[in-house]
Amino acid sequence: MEFYSSSKTPRPVRLCESTRKFAYESLNHKYGLDAKQTPCVTLDHVENFEQMTELEQHDVAIKEIVTKAPVRICESEKISGAATLGKAIEHVIPATYRDMPLCSSVSHLTIDFPTVLKYGIKHIREKALISLERYQGTEKEAFAKSCLHCLDCFDIWHGRYLEALKGLPEYEANYRNLLRMPMEPANNFYEAVQSLWFTFAFVRLCGNWPGIGRIDAMLGPYLKRDLEEGNITLDEAREILAHLFIKGCEWIWGGNCESGDAQHYQNIILAGVDENGQEITNEVTYLVLDILEELGISDFPTTVRVNANTDEKLIRRVAEVIRYGGGILAVYNEDLILEALTEYGYPLTEARQFANDGCWEVQIPGKTFFNYSPFDSLQILQHNTLKDYSPDIDFADFESLYKNYVADLKARVDIIFRDKENAFIRTGLPSKDWVWKAKIPCTIVSLFEQGCIEKGLSYLEGGPIYNVISPHIGGLPDTVNSLYVIKKMVFDEHKISLKAFMEVLRNNWENEEVLRQNVLNNYQYYGNDNDEVDMIAVRLIDDFAEICRELDGRCGYNFPAGISTFGRQLSTFLSGRIAAPHGRKKGEVLAGNMSPTPGTDKEGATAIIRSYCKADMKRMVTGAALDVKLLPSSVKGEDGLEALMALICGFAALGGFFMQLDVVEAETLKEAQKHPEDYQTLSVRVSGWNARFVTLNEEWQNMIIQQTEK
């Protein structure tokens, strides 16, 4: 049983043979294909279904799911629970009426697992009972009843597993563990892992895609106490925890999934400080790294919080795991993010608990409704400021052009704001009291987000403590490079008039290959530590942040800025773009996130990081992702390991926000295209998620190859 490494370095073996077999079968589609056999439950038999309210229909669907979904017990599993309905993989509630899914589900959130571990599901039921009493006879009564109904459904699903496990000698430990978990508070490490997994699996059985968050902060204290009392060994704990990761691969089915088959937002955060400012790195931190190193599981994209005081031992261990490739580990600069969150207005104790939304955008876990609104900054330049390269545009100088562009950028962000403002019923009250319009039912996730039960409001209707909608600017490196070329060629060097250059671009560089090659090869673009172009990026990021700040708090949600593409440079952005001033023709795939335009980074990873870090990334409150591809040869041996450690530490010291590192060769990816049967578990970092390379469609595969080639 070989677990693929894109660096072609053999992975270590620490786990027992049965655990490794379980992992191999899961990674090779056994349970994902099983889920596909039972895609959903049907609601066609429900009397008067169409006369029910949407919330009533939702509650009927959840009851059908928990009573009819298959119960799965995997051979040798140490923890129990599963999400066994295949349509949940499609981001919908896996229940249909007349062959149509009931409704979509919820993602981009990290739910409140710490409350489940500390107090148990029974505590949530107690809150729901209080809520029902408080809102009896009001418009909020229906939601309170739905909360209790869904908790009853949780009990049904839990009871079905107990019944299935009862009397099976090989699963006696599972049965004993599940008798209390997750209904009661966890008392030890094994119970805590079971409680976390069963809750997680139930939430996604119902179609939702939650992140997990700070797994070592949650589980570390239980393991520490067990170790001190001699109740468990590290090897035993590693085996138990490995089963959580293996069971999390239950949706792998090996099909062509366009953007990959591991995009379920079940991200994990490691290390960093707790709410009191104390470092939480512990035995669980290192066990997670052991498991990722050995099995290469990419379904839990994991980010390590690094700060100025992070132990060199942890940095080294992170670098060792990154060297195997797959893009499984990424890095947060904790110090900068805490500054960003507190300057934005979060209390420090809240900020210190930050995790992500299932990709990499920062939020306070278990307390935040989060949504982001992506848009393409390059199209604004092309279609609005330069008016599709009209012969009639005229700017006296670069400053005039730039100011006109910022005005167009502001107009686009204003449109996003007005659109999101429509999510509210305008009451005339101060913005914090605005009422959200009714949305699709989402009681399951609402149970696990603080504020929802107490307010009598769902996750999508203002229930959580924090409600965030973040405009995300995309295509920024290409916009910066385009502005830079116009500045240099037209206004500084006077090589071509603006009118003539617009004609070249309008004609998609046709018959202008000499000029295009000059543009491609004779300028140092963003990503090469060139201050002249990087300062345009710095200025543009500041201006975008200020545009968002001026709109923030003017209705019932926060409006912080962020930078991302999440692969849209290959999809929705690509179709609307025309020829770009920095030598690119219509149809070329351009920059992802805040990374350089493919083929323009000539000076290596250090220069990329320096260019990115010149901007004040604190102003991108929800995040700004930098993707860095490294060749296996560049991180080989002790020198390569130290170079990788230096990259991580330098990124943090220079003021980066979030960095995704992947170690892979383009030749390996090309071989995987030709012989996918030999590369079934080859993982690559795509954007905020990982994917097994062979499950990407050809366009996505080619994009990853292009990003990897130098």
- Determine the average pLDDT of the residues in 234-248: 98
Distance of CA 59 to the CA centre of its chain: 28
Instruction: Point out the least confidently predicted range of 183-187, 217-221, 589-593.
Output: 589-593
Which tens digit of pLDDT belongs to each residue from 225-236? 999 999 999 999
243 closest CA partner among 89, 73, 112: 73
Question: What confidence score (pLDDT) does residue 185 get?
Answer: 98
- Cα(705)–Cα(666) distance, rounded to whole angstroms? 5
Secondary structure class of 323 (helix, strand, coil)? coil
- Cα(634)–Cα(644) distance, rounded to whole angstroms? 9
Helices (H), 346-397: 348-351, 377-379
Q: How many CB atoms lie within 10 A of CB 281?
A: 21
Question: What confidence score (pLDDT) does residue 555 get?
Answer: 85
Question: What confidence score (pLDDT) does residue 684 get?
Answer: 83
Report which residue type is found at 514. V
Residue 250, pLDDT above cutoff 60:
yes
CB 463 within 8 Å of CB 111: no
Q: Is the model more confident about 522 or about 697?
A: 522
| Tokens found for residue 558 | 């926060």
Q: Dihedral, CA atoms, 688, 691, 696, 701, nearest 10 degrees?
A: 70
- Determine the average pLDDT of the residues in 271-289: 98
Residue 5, pLDDT above cutoff 90:
no
257 confidence band (pLDDT: 50, 70, 90): low
Residue 204, pLDDT above cutoff 60:
yes
From the number of C-beta atoms within 10 Å of its C-beta (0-12, 13-18, 19+), residue 386 rates as buried
119 confidence band (pLDDT: 50, 70, 90): very high
434 confidence band (pLDDT: 50, 70, 90): confident
Residue 425, pLDDT above cutoff 90:
no
Instruction: Point out the least confidently predicted range of 191-200, 375-384, 666-675.
Output: 666-675
Residue 420, pLDDT above cutoff 70:
yes
Q: How many CB atoms lie within 10 A of CB 190?
A: 25
Which tens digit of pLDDT belongs to each residue from 557-584? 999 999 999 889 988 999 999 999 999 9
Strand partners of residue 269: 214, 303
198 closest CA partner among 243, 257, 141, 139: 243
259 confidence band (pLDDT: 50, 70, 90): low
Question: What confidence score (pLDDT) does residue 430 get?
Answer: 62
- Determine the average pLDDT of the residues in 606-628: 97
Instruction: Point out the least confidently predicted range of 193-202, 262-271, 543-552, 617-626.
Output: 262-271
Rounded to 10 deg, the angle between the 189-205 and 215-228 helix axes is 150
- Cα(536)–Cα(481) distance, rounded to whole angstroms? 9
Which tens digit of pLDDT belongs to each residue from 499-555? 999 999 999 999 999 999 999 999 999 999 999 999 999 999 999 999 999 999 888
Residue 74, pLDDT above cutoff 60:
yes
3-state helix/strand/coil string of 597-625: CCCCCCCCHHHHHHHHHCCCHHHCCCCEE
| Angle ∠(141,143,146) on CA atoms, nearest 5 | 110
- Cα(259)–Cα(93) distance, rounded to whole angstroms? 21
Question: What confidence score (pLDDT) does residue 262 get?
Answer: 64
Looking at the chain, the whole-number percentage of residues with pLDDT higher than 70 is: 98
Phi and psi, residue 638, nearest 5°: -65, -40
669 closest CA partner among 8, 1, 3, 2: 8
- Cα(448)–Cα(154) distance, rounded to whole angstroms? 13
Q: Is the model more confident about 3 or about 215?
A: 215
| Tokens found for residue 168 | 């099976």
Global pTM?
0.95
Pairing of strands 95-97, 100-101: antiparallel
41-42, strands of its sheet edge to edge? 41-42, 95-97, 100-101
| Tokens found for residue 350 | 């809240």
Secondary structure class of 500 (helix, strand, coil)? helix
CB 33 within 8 Å of CB 26: no
706 confidence band (pLDDT: 50, 70, 90): confident
- Determine the average pLDDT of the residues in 641-645: 97
Question: What confidence score (pLDDT) does residue 670 get?
Answer: 87
Element (H, E) at 267: none
Domain ranges in the chain are 17-210, 368-633
Question: What confidence score (pLDDT) does residue 694 get?
Answer: 84
Question: What confidence score (pLDDT) does residue 256 get?
Answer: 65
Buried/exposed code over 406-421 (b: 16+ C-beta within 10 A; e: otherwise): bebbbebbeebbeebb
Residue 710, pLDDT above cutoff 70:
no
DSSP 514-546: HHHHHHHHSS--TTS--HHHHHHHHHHHHHHHH
